[in-house]
Amino acid sequence: MNLRFVIILCLVCCCSIAWSQDNSVLTKPKKTLQVTRASVKPKIDGVLDDEVWQNAEIATGFIQFRPDIGNTLPQEQSTEVKMTYDDNALYVAAYLYDDTSKILKQLTSRDNFGQSDFFAVVLNPNNDAQNDTQFFVFSSGQQADAIANPSIGEDFSWNAVWQSAVQIMDDGWIVEMEIPYRTLRFPEQEEPTWGLQFHRQFRRSRAQYTWNELDPTQGNVGLYHGELKGLKNLKPPIRLNLYPFSTGIVNSFDGDVETDLTFGMDVKYGITDNFTLDATLVPDFSQAGFDRVVLNLGPFEQTFSEQRQFFTEGVDLFSKGNLFFSRRVGNAPSGELDLAENEEADIPNEVKVLNAVKVSGRTKKGLGVGVFNAFTEKTYATITNMATNEKREELVEPFTNYNILVVDQQFNGNSSISLINTNVMREGDFRDGNATALVTNLQNKRNTYVINAEAKMSNVNYQNTDSETGFSSSFYIGKTHGNLRYSFDHSFADTKFEINDLGLNFRNNFNNFGADISYQIFEPKGNLNRYRINAWINYRNLANPGVFTGMNIGGRYFAETKQLNAYGFNFNIEPGKQYDYFESRDGRPFIYEDIVSIGAFYSSNYNKTFALDIDGGLFKIFEDGRDLFGYNFSFRPRVRPNDKLLLVYSFNLNMANGQRGYATFVDDQPILGERNRKIITNTISANYTFNPFNSVALSFRHYWDTVNYDDELFTLLDNGRLTTEAGYTVNNIGDSPNINFSTWNIDLSYSWQFAPGSFLTALYRNQLFNFDSLSEDNFSQSLGTLFDQPIQHTISVRLQYFLDFKGLKSIFKKKDQPQDRHANHFIAPRHRFGINS
């Protein structure tokens, strides 16, 4: 085993033992809420006339933690919460007193907070301060839910099926909730104590309160939960949820029309009380949003965020160590083609995912285990001989298995240590990849300092040549309490570290050091609700050879006023010579000197009908013989004429004059050039939400990018400087390096939740793409050329239905057996602000 890996492992274990002996400063007694079992379940309608609520204990006395700390609510805004339970679910009733004329209640899509007051219930069945399940209900009637822990923060890609109802009253608003046990993970328990917290936010002022007092100056929020007592003889249900779906697709491009009808199913099954299997059978990702493609002139690959729900939901364990980049599964084929001069290849953009499975969970003692497995099918490229029109197929991606194993132990209510392994196995002579990481997140019990450390090893089997083993590590230590905070970090990767079979690392071969210092306030001061100032310095080297590559110094200021307007500015300086060993594409350094950039932004209060975001920046080089200057500007007005409609327009302009960089290869050597680059991006988003169950969304994006090189081109000297002595010009190197690049995308979708967890989604999408060398064409000329290209139209309709085990059993009940009128029941809206289920 690599010696560095062993040393870091020993250090981690020593730190874990030493830090676990600190004494906690969280000594305030926790509030408790005592509940009793309901003999008759309450009706989830937002009307608190059920018998079970009459004598239930009240949780009240909410205390503010943002923007002020420690304030209590006045009587006219008091909050009263009650809870009960039965064999199937927890039930919550909250009366939120307020001036109803001031309640914000924008209708949004699920998990979108918008401009709306909210009430939240946070449950932690293990009472371990680290693994929370959060349920939000907004004054509009919409829902949001998330899982949360100190490692990932809040993950709103997690979705559960539960019921809620909202009623607006003369003196406030009411929330009623039913949280089925199938949404939680816990073992059979006789008399458990669960972690419990309630949150309430007044959106008009962003004032947020909790039932059990929370100190935002230190520790994670889970450490400040109260306790839920009185639960007895809880038995976790059989957690079997089925999501059968069908999708119909019509695709039209350049006169060719293709249709397809697919059937599949997603499955969630509770293998044990704490472990769940998630599987997608015959996956369908046809309605994932479009990628925001840009022109990539850099030496590293262009990547996009994950938009497929199966790969975004519940992946917190698998994200440990950053070894898992889910877009690798079903990405473009990995194989390379050796084409003759007269051959052209049609290579698929993606590989079909045959199926994918996740198993994950955590025991009562904090041991988390995760297993991920996916298969992709063989993929072929079609190669055409342009002289004879003969076609052949060549394998560009074999049958492939992707596998991840994670073991994560939490302790102290704020720390964890994890071991992660990823493995990719491809049939035949294609490469295989394996990576392992040891990851630690250590916080002392006083919640004043944190140490994060990682040690990673990679192995790539190239089949026909020797395999390569690489190593990477990172270390971070920082102060995490009080107004003044600081940190130090170090990151390292040798030249053979390679995790891109299933992970993402843009580059290896680095040995970098950094430091950061910040000052922030946690309570309003003057006209400011909050502000934060931070500064940093980074010093960069190659790992091999151990040479200096560059450094930068920067700072940032952010502030929010009491009127909820935000503003800030930043600067960054790269002083002296900087050595870029990647821009040349052949490992030789490209030198530039003394670049300075500054920027600023302003964002007005989103509560208002009209709001505006503006930001911009400048950058300049101070190097003899160069005249690099650039700027960027962004303008984003947003209009919310009523609680149902939101319109956002965005204009972005980026200009860089005198930029130098790689242009092409000639005679096996890199050619660089000085270029002017202009980027204009226009986007429009419009959302109309009829009620929490029906919404229409429009998304439009047009991206235009031109790169125009000076006539004289450079070759790179071994000392890192550029020369024109070779005599290369734009006109004598063959294909012109000038670029005119543009894309166009429109997504129009309608979503209807016709039953709990069940959706009908209709989508229309079109897209255009153009790439040529007409870099001197103006905007209108380029737009005309773009519209001359064939346009792709896609129409898809997807129907997904939710079934749980209880619902499946009820289907087969005899007709003379009594039915539970609430099981899988859709509650129709009763109030103009909607009732969500």
Q: Which two tokens stand for residue 375?
A: 């298969």
pLDDT at 833: 24
How does DSSP assign 266-319, residue by residue? EEEEESSSSEEEEEEES---TTSPPP------SSS--------HHHHTT-TTTT
**What spatial distance separates the first Cα and last Cα of the chain, rounded to whole Å?**
53
Hey, which residues does 574 pair with through a beta bridge?
Answer: 595
Q: Which two tokens stand for residue 286?
A: 């046809």
Burial of 51 (0-12, 13-18, 19+ CB in 10 A): exposed
pLDDT at 565: 98
Give the CA count within 13 Å in the CB-facing half-sphere of 485: 21
pLDDT at 835: 21
Cα separations in angstroms, 568 against 67, 226, 533, 553: 18, 37, 10, 18
Q: CB–CB of 314/275 below 8 Å? A: no
pLDDT at 8: 53
pLDDT at 631: 98
Separation between Cα atoms, residue 65 and residue 72, nearest integer Å: 10
Pairing of strands 118-124, 194-202: antiparallel
pLDDT at 814: 47
Give the CA count within 13 Å in the CB-facing half-sphere of 172: 19
pLDDT at 719: 94
Burial of 212 (0-12, 13-18, 19+ CB in 10 A): buried
Separation between Cα atoms, residue 131 and residue 365, nearest integer Å: 12
- CB atoms near residue 92 (< 10 Å): 25
- Give me the domains of the chain, ranges plus CATH numbers: 31-229 (2.60.40.1190)
**β-sheet with 391-397: strand ranges across:** 343-346, 379-385, 391-397
How does DSSP assign 457-488, residue by residue? EEEEE-SSS--EEEEEEEEEEEE-SSSEEEEE
Q: What is the greatest pairwise CA distance in the chain?
A: 94
Q: CB–CB of 90/104 below 8 Å? A: no
Q: Say which residues have a Cβ less than 8 Å from residue 56's Cβ, sequence separation at least 6.
A: 35, 36, 82, 83, 84, 93
Is the alpha carbon torsion for 101, 106, 107, 110 positive or negative? Answer: negative
Q: Say which residues have a Cβ less than 8 Å from residue 180's Cβ, sequence separation at least 6.
A: 88, 89, 161, 162, 237, 804
Give the CA count within 13 Å in the CB-facing half-sphere of 752: 6
Is the alpha carbon torsion for 340, 341, 343, 349 positive or negative? Answer: positive
How does DSSP assign 541-600, residue by residue? E-SSS--EEEEEEEEEEEEEETTS-EEEEEEEEEEEEEEESSTTSSS--EEEEEEEEEEE
Q: Which two tokens stand for residue 405?
A: 């194993």
pLDDT at 813: 56
Q: CB–CB of 82/56 below 8 Å? A: yes
Q: What is the mean pLDDT of each run of 10 residues along the chain (837 residues)?
A: 52 49 59 96 96 96 96 95 97 98 96 96 95 96 94 88 96 97 90 97 97 94 96 91 94 92 92 90 82 93 86 86 94 88 89 94 92 96 91 94 96 94 95 97 92 97 89 97 97 97 95 98 96 98 97 98 98 97 95 97 98 98 95 98 97 97 94 97 97 96 98 95 95 94 97 94 96 96 96 95 77 46 30 26
3-state SS string for 612-662: EEEEEEEEEECCCCCCCEEEEEEEEEEECCCCCEEEEEEEEEEEEEEEEEE
pLDDT at 4: 55
Burial of 386 (0-12, 13-18, 19+ CB in 10 A): exposed
pTM for the whole structure: 0.90
pLDDT at 575: 97
3-state SS string for 158-179: CCCCCEEEEEEECCEEEEEEEE
pLDDT at 274: 87
pLDDT at 26: 54
Closest among 441, 426, 271, 422 to 359, alpha carbons compared: 271
Q: Say which residues have a Cβ less than 8 Å from residue 831's Cβ, sequence separation at least 6.
A: 46, 141, 166, 167, 168
To which residue do tokens 């009307």 refer?
Answer: 47
Query: Running DSSP on this structure, what letter comes out for residue 223?
Result: G
Q: Which two tokens stand for residue 295?
A: 């022109």
Closest among 44, 267, 85 to 181, alpha carbons compared: 85
Q: Which two tokens stand for residue 174?
A: 């009411």
Separation between Cα atoms, residue 229 and residue 213, nearest integer Å: 18
Separation between Cα atoms, residue 195 and residue 131, nearest integer Å: 10
